[in-house]
Structure 1
Amino acid sequence: MEIESDAQDGGSDGSTPEMSLEEGKNEAMYLVWDDLSVILPNSGNGHARKLLKGLTGHAEPGRIMAIMGPSGSGKSTLLDSLAGRLSGNLVMTGNVILNGKKRKLNCGGLFFADAGFPCPNTRNPSDHFLRCINSDFDTVATFMGSCRKHETQNVLDPATILTTAEIKALLIQTYRGSEYASKARARIQEISHIEGLTDRRSEGSPAKWWKQLSTLTRRSFKNMLRDLGYYWIRIVIYIALSICVGTIFFDIGTSYTSIWARGSCGAFVAGYMTFMSIGGFPSFLEEMKVFYHERLNRHYGIAVYILANFLSSLPFVAMTSFATGTIIYYMVKFRSEFSLCLYVCLDLFSSIAVVESCMMIIASLVPNFLMGIILGAGYMVIVMMTSGYFRSLPDLPRAFWRYPLSYINYGAWALQGAYKNDLIGLEFDSLVPDGPKLKGELVLTNILGIKHNYSKWWDLAALLTILICYRLLFFTILKFKERASPIVRTLHAKRTLRQLSKRPSFQNIPSVPSKRHQRLHSLSSQEGLNSPIH
């Protein structure tokens, strides 16, 4: 059966233009089979059986051919006949002509025959080739040999005499000096000098950057939306914890003891509530694996990926921070103004975004789940210890902890902004009954050690600056790894080869011994046990 399609530029009669043999002989193959018959001399009942009888046909380039018929009609037998892969117990008559020449198609049979390992007539060629080079068949051959000790070994078949390692060594030695190797080397040299071939991957994606950005953002957003462990479970935990915080600090008031309660509540929100953002590290790790794989094909740029990742996570981070901040603010009853509640939500949003950016940096540096969680937790502990709650910022040791760590610590800016948002404008009861009221500004300066000579919005601006710096650092790390990775791998490979070259075992690696001619041992003897049967 032939399946053809009419050419669009064909003749007026609708015929399909044929390719002449002269035009396509250098790049196409024409196959003809004439009066092809396949006979099984002894089918088991003493009578010969014709598997194929007088088939004639042809195959031309540019046409899709289909061989159709019921099971057992001889489709596979015909293909084996045309490919020269008939079993040795079958007899084929007729002609198979390829490009005008009568020949027998074979699959490497001439090379194996030239090397001294011709395929016996009673063996399938593919089985013979695999048996010569694959040591996995040695155990089967050994077992069959032990079961046929009474049979005479075929000394004419080298595959039954030599081990697999010896056969492979002879094949390699024969190939190196054969015409096949010479033709391969000449073709390699010819292809190596072809100019004008370029790697299109180095040119980057043909899509515009905004198209890449929109596609990546949509894909990442759908992934976050469908994956419960990415954000949804964290959102539920955040809401549950915010309800817990709201009930513990419910209607905190303005008594003198509420000063420390407000400080504790603000520190918990700015510290521990953002600490939970490290729970997204497994998802970040999987996302980085996808990025490295796609980056090899230059599907998109690093900057586009980082921006798309931030934009796709924006709705979920906003949902988390605004839900948490609103519940805590109105249950604790810090203040009644909506603008103050909005600042709490923005402060928490910026802090969570910074922590997620930090975890993305860790995922790019440490592609290991356990080590990444440990590093992320250690980073968050240092942030909380130097944020100004456990010890006020002026009391921190100046070397390293105060300068520069507290200035690049997002927790310090987040906590200062939260304290200013809550305390400025409030008055608290005095410790002494009927004493003067304590102003929030005084509490900020004398008790918490926070200066209020600049606006809380500058603290929020510092948070956003740290967020941008973390994203830029993330971009720099990915760019550096991409540029330095080939150099590092080359140096590592050279160093490893130098070390291995000094080892005698590497200079002369013994071939894997064949088990074809080894004696079989019982399982009990292999395990060091004594069987009463043996």
Structure 2
Amino acid sequence: METVSSMESPLNVLRWTPSPSPSRAPPRLDDKAIEIQGVEDRGVVNRLFPFSSGFKLPSLKDGLNASVSDQQGPAHEGAGKGYMGADGVGRVFLTWKDLSVMVLDRKNGGHLPILRRLTGYAVPGEVLAIMGPSGCGKSTLLDALSGRLSSNTQQTGEILINGCRQTLAFGTSAYVTQDDTLMTTLTVREAVYYSAQLQLPDSMSRAEKKDRAETTIREMGLVDAMDTRIGGWSVKGLSGGQKRRVSICIEILTRPKLLFLDEPTSGLDGAASYHVMNRIAKLVKQDGRTVVAAIHQPSSEVFELFHNLCLLSSGDTVYFGPASSAELFFASNGFPCPTLRNPSDHYLRTINKDFETDIEQGGQGGLGTEEAIDILVKSYESSEFCQQVHQRVSHICQEAEGNGMKVRKGSQASFITQILVLIRRSFVNMYRDLGYYWLRLAIYIALCLCVGTIFYDIGSTYGSIQARGSMLMFVASFLTFMAIGGFPSFVEDMKIFGRERLNGHYGVGAFVVGNTFSSIPYLLIISLIPGAIAYYLVGLQRSVDHFAYFALTLFVCMTLVESLMMIVASVVPDFLMGIITGAGIQGVMMLNGGFFRLPDDLPKLFWQYPMYYIAFHKYANQGFYKNEFEGLVFPNNQAGGSATISGEEILRSYWEVEMGYSKWVDLGVLFGMVILYRLMFLGIIKANEKMKPMVRALWASHPSHSSKQVIANPYSKHQKF
């Protein structure tokens, strides 16, 4: 206790007390303090106490030379074997020079810089960590390197793969997003195996794909959770760290040589963070992969797994070089890491200006954050670290370009295989997710029981004419309207599709076809069971062919509404706004369906032409009316008329139904609208993908916005339709 109390507490250390001389010696610990930390020099660190600060540091020059010499090993060989992995597949050397990213300032009409003239590299067999406070540009740099920048950004500078300007082909790189967007109903084995079937080529057998999936699961340490469901709102499943490892499993199935990780430890505790990054580090060492990870605040153990560190603040490079030498750099500029403090915490605290006012008001005094950042940025620009980075980038580009190493495109599963796999996967997900169709089925049964009991045994009196029309209108309008209840599931499907699409797992066409066919069995069940309850309780025409038409029309209408909601989900991905939008569109269509206002009474401008013919309720109502009233005869209670009135006459005079064509034409029009809506859904997604590069190209072609963008979306040209 006496020894601990004698040590200087981090709370009592001034934030910064810089010296005019960059050679200011950091504080040294006595022998007792070194013994407590369990370290004798900087090269030996006891993991039971991983803080590596507070003891004697070598000089900046010695540390730099040692770090540089360590980097000249096999992982950095410039030619020959250095460019080939153990599996014979070319490695990936990623370099960027003078990289800047700006975003359009809509308020002032100019542009705001996000990244400023960054230069760096990522090489095989090493993990590059991009660190910095929130808003410093970590994710933007990661997106720029992976070709995922949004359309409202401008990128300048050079990004080279193996010293060449080339597009990242499928199978070369993978991107693990910050959010674990997974199908919660699948087990770990199923999620990874389905993904393997989608990504791996048809030349591999099912057994080989299954073996690849299980091998990848073992590599990420998920053997014990292999048959555990991922878990969601209804079922408790994996922990956060396990979900993150599943996400990584899915993206490394193709054995990509370049892996991007966006906040891989976000939301995880210290132990889970270490296990995730330790697995990544092992894969890097085994396969010679190049890993770039944007990470916010790693623990000291996680920090020790990084080979190189890119430290950003407000878009500027504060430090780029070996992670183990960052402490030297900060100490040499007057910002030594206090005793017993995690070095990464110290770096972020030093360059985080978000809470500077609060800290200064706390009475700690010292140098302002803005001044500290300015000192570090300028010091780095004139340091040997910066010179070494530029030399390293030039060396990599010259050596790689001389070897002519082009990244090779991997092969995928065929279009038909992808469709079949997506159908199976979606079918399983829909079956296990109670909220997708089963809850809606229960609601439909309850509603149809209500309809059946209210209109029970309607008979064939004159008053049953209006009752029949009301009941059929309710089915055509409100039962189909309830299909918007599946919108939350559609949004989740779109999120999963967005992640898999950006990584090139499959194309838009395969997704649309797979989603359509996987939902057909469930929509048929919803149409048949509740439909039969309502149809036969009410006492409509009892022949099988009449009921078959009724159920088929109900099925097509529900499919149509689901197609409409998929379009809404592709345009309005927000859950609440999407439901409001879909409900509003259907509400307008209901008004033009021919029941609330007869067709001839609708205002001709807009409401009758074209809205009446656009609304699917027109064809649904007419089909139901023709199916029910044709062939029936009702007593006529009107004075002065004939004793009976036929169903055909009721259709013409009472409901103003167009009688020039068969009810099957109405059904055919509805089916055609389903196909049209699905094609619109596909077209909107494709157009959105095409528009982003077009907007960026238009922005870049402006005279004042010239750029040398050498990497676009790495999969935009290599995905199947």
TM over 0.5: yes
Deviation at 1:331, TM superposition (A): 1.0
The residue matched to 2:478 in structure 1 has which SS?
helix
Task: Pick one of 543, 550, 569 that aligns with 1:337.
Answer: 543
Equivalent pair of 1:387/1:411 in contact (CA under 8 Å): yes
| 1:369 matched residue in structure 2 | 575
In 2: Cα distance, 1:118 partner to 1:468 partner: 65
In 2: Cα distance, 1:345 partner to 1:371 partner: 31
Equivalent pair of 2:54/2:337 in contact (CA under 8 Å): no
Higher-helix-fraction structure = 1
Deviation at 1:320, TM superposition (A): 0.8
In 2: Cα distance, 1:50 partner to 1:478 partner: 57
In 1: Cα distance, 2:506 partner to 2:661 partner: 42
1:468-507 equivalence runs, <5 A: 468-488=675-695
State the AA in 2 paired with 1:173.
Answer: K
Equivalent pair of 2:453/2:537 in contact (CA under 8 Å): yes
| 2:385 matched residue in structure 1 | 180
Task: Pick one of 77, 83, 88 that aligns with 2:55.
Answer: 88
Task: Pick one of 462, 466, 475 that aligns with 2:669.
Answer: 462
- Report how many residues are paired: 412
TM-score normalised over the length of structure 2:
0.50
Per-residue displacement from partner, 1:305-357 (whole Å, max 9, x unpaired)? 11111112111111111112211111111112111001000000001111111
Task: Pick one of 436, 451, 469 that aligns with 1:245.
Answer: 451
| 1:171 matched residue in structure 2 | 376
Deviation at 1:389, TM superposition (A): 1.3
Q: What RMSD over aligned residues (CA atoms) do the two structures have, in Å? A: 4.2
TM-score normalised over the length of structure 1:
0.66
Moved more, 447-456 or 190-199: 190-199
Query: Could you say if the C-alpha distance between residues 458 and 174 of structure 1 is closer, same or farther in structure 2, counting changes exceeding 3 Å?
Result: same
Equivalent pair of 1:278/1:355 in contact (CA under 8 Å): yes
State the AA in 1 paired with 2:686.
Answer: K
1:70-219 equivalence runs, <5 A: 75-76=46-47, 85=52, 87-88=54-55, 107-108=325-326, 110-112=328-330, 115-117=332-334, 126=343, 133=351, 162-191=367-396, 194=400, 206-219=412-425
Does residue 355 in structure 1 map to residue 550 in structure 2? no
Equivalent pair of 1:109/1:125 in contact (CA under 8 Å): no
Equivalent pair of 2:39/2:46 in contact (CA under 8 Å): no
Query: Could you say if the C-alpha distance between residues 181 and 353 of structure 1 is closer, same or farther in structure 2, counting changes exceeding 3 Å?
Result: same
The residue matched to 1:251 in structure 2 has which SS?
coil
Query: Could you say if the C-alpha distance between residues 186 and 447 of structure 1 is closer, same or farther in structure 2, counting changes exceeding 3 Å?
Result: same
Does residue 324 in structure 1 map to residue 530 in structure 2? yes
Structure 2, gaps ≥5 residues long: 1-28, 58-64, 71-322, 706-721
Deviation at 1:407, TM superposition (A): 2.4
In 1: Cα distance, 2:446 partner to 2:490 partner: 24
Task: Pick one of 430, 439, 444 that aligns with 2:651.
Answer: 444
Equivalent pair of 2:461/2:635 in contact (CA under 8 Å): yes
Equivalent pair of 1:243/1:327 in contact (CA under 8 Å): yes
| 1:232 matched residue in structure 2 | 438
| 2:598 matched residue in structure 1 | 392
In 2: Cα distance, 1:50 partner to 1:348 partner: 73
Per-residue displacement from partner, 1:37-81 (whole Å, max 9, x unpaired)? xx974589xxx999789x9xxx9xxxxxxx9xxxxxx9549999x
| 1:276 matched residue in structure 2 | 482
In 1: Cα distance, 2:337 partner to 2:473 partner: 84
State the AA in 2 paired with 1:386.
Answer: N
Deviation at 1:491, TM superposition (A): 7.0
Q: Highest CA radius of gyration, 1 or 2?
A: 1
Deviation at 1:172, TM superposition (A): 1.6
In 1: Cα distance, 2:505 partner to 2:665 partner: 39
Query: Could you say if the C-alpha distance between residues 238 and 108 of structure 1 is closer, same or farther in structure 2, counting changes exceeding 3 Å?
Result: closer
Higher relative contact order (CA 8 A, sep 6+): 2
State the AA in 1 paired with 2:467.
Answer: A
| 1:528 matched residue in structure 2 | none
| 2:310 matched residue in structure 1 | none
The residue matched to 1:107 in structure 2 has which SS?
helix
Equivalent pair of 2:637/2:643 in contact (CA under 8 Å): no
Task: Pick one of 230, 238, 256 that aligns with 2:462.
Answer: 256
| 1:510 matched residue in structure 2 | none
Equivalent pair of 1:119/1:125 in contact (CA under 8 Å): no
The residue matched to 1:454 in structure 2 has which SS?
coil
Query: Could you say if the C-alpha distance between residues 120 and 381 of structure 1 is closer, same or farther in structure 2, counting changes exceeding 3 Å?
Result: closer
Query: Could you say if the C-alpha distance between residues 494 and 362 of structure 1 is closer, same or farther in structure 2, counting changes exceeding 3 Å?
Result: farther
1:281-320 equivalence runs, <5 A: 281-320=487-526
In 2: Cα distance, 1:293 partner to 1:180 partner: 37
Query: Could you say if the C-alpha distance between residues 214 and 204 of structure 1 is closer, same or farther in structure 2, counting changes exceeding 3 Å?
Result: farther
Deviation at 1:118, TM superposition (A): 8.0
In 2: Cα distance, 1:437 partner to 1:166 partner: 96
1:418-433 equivalence runs, <5 A: 418-431=624-637
State the AA in 2 paired with 1:396.
Answer: L
The residue matched to 1:428 in structure 2 has which SS?
strand
Query: Could you say if the C-alpha distance between residues 106 and 215 of structure 1 is closer, same or farther in structure 2, counting changes exceeding 3 Å?
Result: closer
